[in-house]
Amino acid sequence: MSTKHLLEPELLPLLDALPAFSFTDEALPGIRTGFSGGAELGDAHAQGVIRTERQVSLKNGNSEPVRCLVYQPKEAAVEHPGYLHVHGGGYVLGAPEGSDEANLRICAELGITIVAVAYRLAPEHPIPAPLDDCYTALGWMHENAAELGLDRSRIGIGGESAGGGLAAATALKARDAGDYALCHQHLTYPMLDDRTGTPEVPGDPLVGEFVWTREANQFGWSRYLGGAPAAAPQVPARADDLSGLPSTWMLTVGLDLFRDEDIEYARRLLAAGVETELLVYPGGCHAFQALPGTVIGDRYVKDHLHGLRRGLKVDV
């Protein structure tokens, strides 16, 4: 059954630009090349942003160095907010360079420091490596807050798809460890539940036709888990207790495979007393915002910035 008639007509060109992924271990290197081939760094100077590449690690020496792109406003307020960004790619694809345009815009418009983490990818590096890398980047932001000009009480985390899943996982780990505080998590159609799209939990047949399918999801989760048990924090939806997590902004769309797991996670956050805002756009599919010049994409940019400004208490 095709769901193309339910897709916003302005998004139809996206189906040719981003056809549904057909993953195998043999095809993965080629998919990675195609996925990252179009990423070009923007003109940071023209937007009043200083972008540097850093190798970060924790002062206790218990972590591998992690490559990050760091975005800072040329004219930043003293003790301004920080945002740890985690890129998407189903846990098997991507790099922070792919989010450069968005991170430049956010840095320039909100006047915040952004650290975009190049976490290790599965299947070469299954759990716990990707989450360890994100946690290392978060710890580095806290340990170097004075150098970066950050207010430690206003550090948030966010990402899209698998990046949103890793952001949620990092928030769980940070809550449980108690070492590095987060004030906010900012999740765009996050990838939270390994059960979604399996034969046991196929979900609504009206979701998951475009870009990121059930088959792609099973591939991504299986390579990310690498044979380990599916458990929190790496699988956020399997966490028994969501209390004590930071304020949450979450967006999902009507035709995304993750729609229902995202709505359920938001419901559980609300039930746990976590300040939560959930947006559900009708007619959208996975990666909808990758197509430039659309009404739904422009709405996302506005809502995303507004939610992040509020979550990080910008201009307070």
Type and span of the H or E element at 189 = none
How far apart are alpha carbons 206 and 187 in whole angstroms?
A: 22
Q: Is 316 domain-assigned? A: no
| Residue 239 within any structural domain of the chain | yes
The helices-and-strands tally (H runs, E runs) of the chain is: 9, 8
User: Which residues make Cβ contacts (< 8 Å) with residue 94, sequence separation at least 6?
Assistant: 35, 36, 87, 88, 121, 162, 163
**Is 105 a domain residue?**
yes
Backbone CA torsion sign across 238, 243, 245, 247: positive
CB 252 within 8 A of CB 189: yes
Radius of gyration in angstroms for the set of CA atoms belonging to the chain, rounded to a whole number = 18
43-64 mean pLDDT = 92
The CB density around residue 41, as the number of other CB atoms within 10 Å, is 11
Q: What local confidence, expressed as pLDDT, does residue 31 receive?
A: 94
Strand partners, 268: none
Residue 69's φ and ψ, nearest 5 degrees, are -100, 125
**Residue 15 included in any domain:** yes
Query: What was the pLDDT predicted at 173?
Result: 98
Q: What is the mean pLDDT of residues 296-310?
A: 98
Catalytic residues: 161, 256, 286
pLDDT in tens, 200-240: 999 999 999 999 999 999 999 999 999 999 999 999 999 99
Q: Are the beta carbons of 194 and 231 closer than 8 angstroms? A: no
Instruction: Determine, yes or no, domain membership for 78.
Output: yes
In sequence order, which residues have a C-beta less than 8 Å from that of residue 222 and are 6 or more positions away? none
The per-residue pLDDT for 38 is 59
Q: Which of 169, 206, 208, 161 is nearest to 185 (CA)?
A: 169
Residue spans of alpha helices (H) in the chain: 12-17, 28-36, 100-110, 129-143, 145-148, 162-177, 214-225, 259-271, 295-311
Is residue 178 within 8 A of residue 106, CB to CB? The reply is no
pLDDT > 90: percent of the chain:
92
Q: Is residue 201 part of a domain?
A: yes
134 within some domain: yes
Closest CA to 50 of 103, 117, 94: 103
Cα–Cα separations (whole angstroms), residue 156 to 110, 135, 141, 150: 13, 12, 10, 11
- Band (pLDDT 50/70/90 cuts) for residue 63 is confident
Phi, psi for residue 254 in degrees, rounded to 5: -65, -30
Residue 193 has pLDDT above 70, yes or no: yes
- The span from the first CA to the last CA of the chain, in angstroms, equals 50
Q: Tens of pLDDT along 259-276?
A: 999 999 999 999 999 999
Q: How many residues does the chain have?
A: 316
Give me the number of domains the chain comprises. 1
Share of the chain above pLDDT 70, in %: 99
Strand 113-117 relative to strand 80-86, pairing = parallel
Q: Tokens 């990707």 — which residue?
A: 130
Question: Which range marks the domain in which residue 140 is found?
Answer: 4-311
In a domain, 119, yes or no: yes
CATH of the domain at 97: 3.40.50.1820
